[in-house]
Amino acid sequence: MNNEVIITCAVTGAADAVDKHPDLPVTPAQIASAAIEAAKAGAAIAHIHVRDPQTGKGARDPALFREVVARVRESDTDVVLNLTAGMGGDLVFNNEAPLFPGPGTDLAPPLERLAHVEELLPEICTLDNGSANFGEGNYVMANPVDHLRTMARRIQALGVRPEIEVFDTGHIWFANKLIEEGLIDAPPLFQICLGIPYCAPADVGVFKAMVELLPPGANWTAFAISRNQMRFVAQSVGLGGNARVGLEDNLYLSRGVHASNGQLVERAVTLIENLGAHVVGPEAAREKFQLTKRA
């Protein structure tokens, strides 16, 4: 069991969830406010996506990240910023012409996907460590291994800690390869992602197997989506890891009752403390994950 737990709050994500939640953070001001709210509720880390303020759809415009980061850094609330680098790996197949990507495709060169990381130098950025089918339809999360090597090398040079997002066992296999190749510095930081169709299911046996594949000395967090979110907060802490909650992964406190990021963090804090563990803040997270603090 982990007795000193770091909570990450993923405050908005990139999924088409705007019509499913009346207060989902969309604008940079709303996303920054959500990160600050989560920090005040007990989250040490805020995981940040940005959205097009007009459409609400996921975006990767560095100007949007710039505004979010500036608002958070200018506030009086300390929180570790974890910026997504997953955007730009979206492939939607065209049924009639599969060699020609369909609407919704956004495929960018690997270094272009890091443009906002290069500029803003967060303490953490994500590295989605493989490709996968994501749910029904024709969408594929596309992350070729050579693209990932290019991204890992640049993240390392920038002095940013990559959070290695693993959605299945093969993603851990490749992460271990990157570590062997010297492209990820010790101690590696993993995020185990569960319950996304059709990746690793939110199953305790699968989860335990993934934890056992992690390299010795790795730091790690885990989450499961939707109704399994809080259950896997407890599972993660019990297996020795940290916890992630937030509106990116789950929109509800209970059936039909929309949550806020702060409420989800508060519920996670209560759960963790009831397990006999202690929730720690951003300075402890920086020390444990060996992060480079930014001004």
Give domain status of residue 67, yes or no. yes
Give domain status of residue 137, yes or no. yes
Q: Quick: pLDDT tens for 78-113.
A: 999 999 999 999 999 999 998 899 999 999 999 999
Give domain status of residue 223, yes or no. yes
Structurally, the chain folds into a number of domains equal to 1
Give domain status of residue 295, yes or no. no
Give domain status of residue 238, yes or no. yes
Give domain status of residue 279, yes or no. yes
Q: Quick: pLDDT tens for 242-279.
A: 999 999 999 999 999 999 999 999 999 999 999 999 99
23-27 long-range Cβ contacts below 8 angstroms, 24+ apart:
23/258, 23/260, 24/56, 24/247, 24/251, 25/51, 25/247, 25/261, 26/51, 26/53, 26/56, 27/51, 27/53
pTM above 0.95, yes or no: yes
Reported as a pLDDT band with limits 50, 70 and 90, residue 293 is confident
CA distance 167 to 272: 24
Give domain status of residue 225, yes or no. yes
Q: Which residues constitute the domain of residue 146?
A: 4-289
Give domain status of residue 294, yes or no. no
- Comparison of pLDDT for 294 and 20, the residue scoring more: 20
